[in-house]
Amino acid sequence: MNYMRTALLLAAMTALFGVIGLLIGGATGMMIALVVAAGMNLFSYWNSDKLALRAHNAHEVDDSTAPELVAMVRQLAERAQMPMPRVYVIDDPQPNAFATGRNPQNAAVAATTGIMQQLTWEELAGVMAHELAHIRNHDTLTMTITATLAGAISTIANFGMFFGGNRERPNLIVTVLISILAPMAAMVVQMAVSRSREYEADKLGGEICGNPVWLADALAKIAGGVARTPSESAERHPQTAHMFIINPLSGQGFDNLFSTHPDTNNRIAALMDQAAQMGYGASSSPGGFLSGSENNPWGSSGSGSTRGPWG
């Protein structure tokens, strides 16, 4: 299903490229745009994850540079019965995280330094489980390619402000409309694609970590942190906002087509319902794969802790 949605998305983006080319340069412009779109689609499939990670200056970590985080992701991946993804850290004080990659065999998870410092160990496990859920559900292919193509469409539309190929058209008016409408169209597509997937990733993430309350508590903290702490890299690359667990651009939250994520309170409520069905209460009580000394080599950070082991 996700591969079909990705194919439809690529087709829609290709058609949009063609329309933009037609308006800017007539039939010749359309052909050039379609060729560019075909090349962009192929490039995005193989390289969109690298572009997303590079956009946020993420650096890969391993057992020697971030042993606790890597070990956590490894345990969660084993619990989810999926390949171990690459692990990245983003030097950003805003608490947030995202996953990327074209399939579970070629995937990565990225966490900001802010989220590692502000969440408890259990809450961070909930977040990483959510990101692994996106990978296992093959959401990351659609989300990452959308980010790349949306950025490309915005660039081409802005390019049209300066170059028009058909003297018989009022080029200034056409290119102004293109520069406004084309990025809006790309944003609507990426918003519609991403928001319905968050609930499913939350649910599966709660199952992977073993206690949905951890993820619910994490979402509340992340939403507050995002509202207080702007992310410079996210502001520079707004087309990647839908990839993060919480919208890094603003604290707004309404369940409608024009929000990149569902309302955080609605997500928390769904997780608490799931936790009740699993027998957990309304606090980060012990439970899940981290509970018990034999399964948690780092020790529990405790429900009252406000910071992870990175201090």
pLDDT tens, residue by residue, 134-190: 999 988 887 777 766 666 666 666 665 555 545 455 556 666 666 666 666 666 666
Q: What is the pLDDT of residues 88-144, one digit of tens each?
A: 999 999 999 999 998 999 999 999 999 999 999 999 999 999 999 999 998 888 777
CB 294 within 8 A of CB 280: no
Q: What is the pLDDT of residues 245-289, one digit of tens each?
A: 999 986 444 455 556 788 999 999 999 999 999 998 665 445 555
Predicted TM-score of the model (pTM): 0.78
CB count in 10 Å sphere of residue 305: 15
- Position with higher pLDDT, 147 vs 308: 147
**Mean pLDDT, residues 1-8 taken together:** 65
Domain residue limits, the chain: 2-278
Predicted pLDDT of residue 302: 42
The radius of gyration computed from the CA coordinates of the chain, to the nearest angstrom, equals: 21
Annotated catalytic residue within 122, 123, 131, 198? 131
Percent of the chain with pLDDT over 70: 68
Predicted pLDDT of residue 292: 40
Predicted pLDDT of residue 129: 98
Predicted pLDDT of residue 307: 41
How far does CA 306 lie from the centroid of its chain?
24
Q: Which sign does the torsion angle of CA 50, 53, 57, 63 carry?
A: negative
Average pLDDT along the chain:
80
Residue 235 is a catalytic residue: no
